[in-house]
Each structure stands twice: as C-alpha cells, then as structure tokens.
Structure 1
Amino acid sequence: MKPLFVLIALLLCTFGYTLQQPAFAQTTGEIAKGNCTSCANVCQKTLDYCTSKKGKYAEASVTNSLKDCITACKMTADFLNRGSVGLQPKSCALTVEACNECAKSMDKFNTDNTMQACANECRKAVGNCQKLVK
C-alpha cells in the first residue's frame, strides 16, 4: 500500500509541476517568419503545379505573382531570422503587397483546391507581416 501511495504522490507532484511551467509563446516576428517560410514553400509548389498544367495556369501574370511572393517571403524570413530591425518593416510591407497580389491571382482559380490553398497561405503571411509594418 505504501509504494502505491508514494507513486500517486509522485505523479501528483509531477502533474502539479508541469502545470506551473510558463508557456513560451512565440513572438509576432517568429510567427511571421514561420508564415513567410511556409508561404514561400507553398507558392513554390504551386508554381511547379502551374507550369506543369500549362494554359492559363502558366500565364506570366500567374507565375510572376507566385515568383514575386516567393522572393518577398524568403527575403522577409531572412531579415526576421537575422533580426534586421531596420529592414523588417520595409520587407514586411513588400511581402504584404506581394502576398496580396498573389492571393488575388490565385483567387481567379476559385474551383482549384491547390490554388485556393496557396491563396490562403498568402493571407496567413499577410496577417502577421501586417503587424510588423510600422
């Protein structure tokens, strides 16, 4: 009986200790960096998808908006990763613009799940990058 009591006491102490641990929330910059990285990856996959489908998917207006978004998101993720405080607001503003344009371009393909997933990823990046624009 005594070993069972000790085991229960240890479990309760462990559980109580884990409840007292502070949660480590990500900063807006860390979230934006993750969103930008994810957006660049999704846009790259979407670009590959578009070039393989050809036709209206491979039109310059579509592929260029994807390329612009990829470039802007990678640049912003790099600046955020390095903590380039002076350039973050400018790069985030550019990323917001590029992602909005890309999402608008993807929305023209409203019945295509791949294109809509890309538009949604762009909107996620916009949401957090917008918070870093001063």
Structure 2
Amino acid sequence: MSDPNSSQLSLIAPVFPVSDVATAVAYYRDKLLFEVRFEWADNEAEPTRYAILGRDKIELHLTGGDTPHPRTAYCFVDGIDGYYELAKKAGANVTEDIGDQPWEMREFETKDPDGNALIFGEHLSRMTD
C-alpha cells in the first residue's frame, strides 16, 4: 500500500459536452492544432461518442450529448503570442483577442461550435521580451 502523503495530482482534463463529437474533434484538431489521442464509439457502425485531444501537457475530453451545456477551461501557455498567431492563422474562433489583463495575465479566448470556451493565458511576469 502506498503512502497517502506521497500522492501528487499531475493533470486535470476538462470534459466538454458537445452535440457532435466528430465536428468538435475537427475544430480542436484543425483550428487549435490539438492532436487526437483517443476516440471511442460503441461499435464501428456508430459515431464517435468520446474523444481525447491533447497538445503538449494538456488534455481535453469531449463527450457527445443531445443538449450540451457549454463549459469553460483555462489553459496556461508558455509562448502565448506564438500560439495565438498559430490559432488565428488556422482559423480558430477567437472570441476575445489577445491582451494584457489587470490580473497580470496575457490572454485570449476561443469557443468551439457548441460554445465551450478555452481561455489561453500566460503570466506576464514569466514572459520574455
């Protein structure tokens, strides 16, 4: 039995509800440049019901449903300006342009086709010129 005091949380993966997993996967893959790490369907004749996408150290899970209720997740980024340019060039739905915030973060926001929001941010104190 392991020592409970030695436990460490290592990753959080938000689960976004979406009306069509394939459409959402295409958005995150093509517009936000995530990689598809896993897709699951009940059988080969059924559409994908669950997917896991990732980029670097983050993961995002997508689950299909009839009436999704949009969620928001915050992603910390090293090199926010470069990623912002990549996402814009790829055609991401940027709902709030990049900018410095009074809470010492440089951020931008995107929304997927179901209204789920990802806010990308970098601590201003960690940014290099």
Q: Under a length normalisation based on structure 1, what TM-score does the superposition of the two structures give?
A: 0.28
TM-score normalised per structure 2 = 0.28
* Larger fraction in helix: 1
Instruction: Report which of the two has the higher share of strand.
Output: 2
The structure with the largest alpha-carbon Rg is 1
